[in-house]
Amino acid sequence: MPKHNRCLPLAAVILLLILQPSAIGHPPTNTPITRFQNYLRIYTAHPNPDYNTAVNYLTSFARTIPTLQIQTLHFTTPDKPLLLLTWPGSNPSLPSVLLNSHLDSVPAESSKWLHEPFEAHISPDGEIYARGAQDDKCIGMQYLEAIKELEINFHYSPTRTVHICYVPEEEVGGFDGMARLVKSEEFKKLKVGFVLDEGQASTTDQFRIFYADRSPWHVVIKATGEPGHGSRMYDNSAMENMMKSIEVITKFRENQFDLVKAGLAAPSEVISVNPVFLKAGIPSPTGFVMNMQPSEAEAGFDIRQPPTADPDLIRNRIAEEWAPEWRNMTYEITEKGTLKDFMGRPLMTATNDSNPWWPIFKQAVEAAGGKLAKPEILTSTTDARFMRQMGIPTFGFSPMKNTPILLHDHNEHLKDSVYLEGIQVYESIIRSLSSFDNASFRY
């Protein structure tokens, strides 16, 4: 028996060797798709993203583009590098263009995936499965592929300098990444006039473009009141005061959501308010004491405001209606982002001719055969807010059309043909932005 068993697999191995196509002709191993797959295979998920391997990989690819200058910066610890590549323009006095992407990814639960999230498996119909395929390793590699194509195949050289930046920590708020870069001396020297950062996939045949992010606030409200027996009806208990607030907040939330449901506003154009925790009650060994009204209650809310919102209105609403002092309530607002830039202007980038970069960008997308959908506010937050805070026009754009929106989802994937088309779109955009030499335009 054992002898017999050992013979069969050997025969199978020989048969496999004969039948395997790779034994005859190796599939190409250095194409835009395999280079993308190799980037996707680097483990960049939180909580332990391997930034150095990612930076080394990008650096070795950048070295194949002769004129690219390479710098690795550290603003915090050696395990959080930031890669900055520079494609020097012939007229360095012009404001430069910055193409940004982040190195890190959110975690992936591999048991919920069809394919391992860091294997970059490609299906027979060309779908590349990987964490980061859409968010946002695609754009990071597409920038470089496009520049390589422009320099080596088209012998094109830019007038304006183009910087390509790979930052750590975006998925955890950007505080040790882009937030540090924009405050640095190095950043000043870049003289950035315009930024492209990540966007999102589009399920239609138009590309999406984002001119603002919503700004997140975390709000915790607290109520206090006389404790009492569970049998007694009296006014102004902590729970009663809290429930009154929740009613008022729920009404506000409904009004905002109704605008969306009626088609009068996009979800990202309203102020969203969502309860995220409720904390009250007197714990007992089996749960909560049921015959006591507690003297404290607490609730937490995630609030997102578009840049068109007036932050003072919400501040006043919280103080006067959601957690009024006269109802014995207190509150704490943690503003995780601002709504205004350093000049006090709303944190958004104009999508009309008042922004000279807009027509150039739009025409470049169209020249590549693409169409832009109506510009949108992103429902969430990206590193783009740090550049907008500096007053620099910034668009969120990831050229993925006819593609399901899978960022942060199980089975994140991107089709090879969509990825390759994105390279063409960036070739057109980078060429247009970097050859735009308008003597009357300075930022």
Ligand X SMILES: *[C@@H]1O[C@H](CO)[C@@H](O)[C@H](O)[C@H]1NC(C)=O
Please give the residue ranges that form the binding site for ligand X (CB under 6 A). Answer: 225, 236, 241, 327-328, 350, 352, 354, 356, 438, 440-441
Our CB check for ligand X shows the closer of 183 and 345 to be 345
- 198 among the known binding-site residues? yes
- 102 among the known binding-site residues? yes
Residue 136 binds which of Zn ion, ligand X, none (CB < 5-8 A, kind-dependent): Zn ion
In whole angstroms, the minimum distance from the beta carbon of 373 to ligand X comes to 17
For ligand X, the nearest residue by Cβ is 236
By the rule CB under 5 A, 104 interacts with Zn ion = no
Question: Could you say which of 100, 122, 130, 135 contacts Zn ion (CB under 5 A)?
Answer: 135
By the rule CB under 5 A, 145 interacts with Zn ion = no
By the rule CB under 5 A, 136 interacts with Zn ion = yes
Residue (of 251, 245, 231, 229) closest to 328 by Cα position: 245
Our CB check for ligand X shows the closer of 201 and 339 to be 339
Residue 225 binds which of Zn ion, ligand X, none (CB < 5-8 A, kind-dependent): ligand X
Which x/- pattern, by CB under 5 A, does the window 49-78 give for Zn ion? ------------------------------
Tokens 């007036």 belong to: 310
In whole angstroms, the minimum distance from the beta carbon of 352 to ligand X comes to 4
Residue 135 binds which of ligand X, Zn ion, none (CB < 5-8 A, kind-dependent): Zn ion
- 312 among the known binding-site residues? no
Contacts for 183 with CB less than 8 Å, ≥ 6 apart: none
Our CB check for ligand X shows the closer of 236 and 284 to be 236
Residue 236 binds which of Zn ion, ligand X, none (CB < 5-8 A, kind-dependent): ligand X
426: left (phi over 0), alpha (psi -120 to 50) or beta: alpha
Our CB check for Zn ion shows the closer of 145 and 197 to be 197
Residue 328 binds which of Zn ion, ligand X, none (CB < 5-8 A, kind-dependent): ligand X
In whole angstroms, the minimum distance from the beta carbon of 210 to ligand X comes to 14
Our CB check for ligand X shows the closer of 103 and 309 to be 309
In whole angstroms, the minimum distance from the beta carbon of 353 to ligand X comes to 6
Per-residue H/E/C for 101-139: EECCECCCCHHHCCCCCCCCEECCCCEEECCCCCCCHHH
Our CB check for ligand X shows the closer of 22 and 354 to be 354
Contacts for 170 with CB less than 8 Å, ≥ 6 apart: 102, 104, 177, 178, 382, 383
Q: Catalytic residue at 170?
A: yes
Is-contact 273 253, C-beta < 8 A?
Answer: yes
Is-contact 159 94, C-beta < 8 A?
Answer: yes
- 171 among the known binding-site residues? yes
Q: Catalytic residue at 104?
A: yes
Annotated catalytic residue: which of 104, 136, 149, 427?
104
Q: 374-388: b or e for each residue (b if 16 or more CB lie within 10 Å)?
A: ebbbbbebbbbbbbb
- 376 among the known binding-site residues? no
Annotated catalytic residue: which of 145, 170, 412, 421?
170
In whole angstroms, the minimum distance from the beta carbon of 407 to Zn ion comes to 6
Which amino acids are annotated as binding site for Zn(2+), given as ranges? 102, 135, 171, 198, 408
Residues recognised as catalytic = 104, 170
Which amino acids are annotated as binding site, given as ranges? 102, 135, 171, 198, 408
Residues in contact with Zn ion by CB under 5 A are 135-136, 198
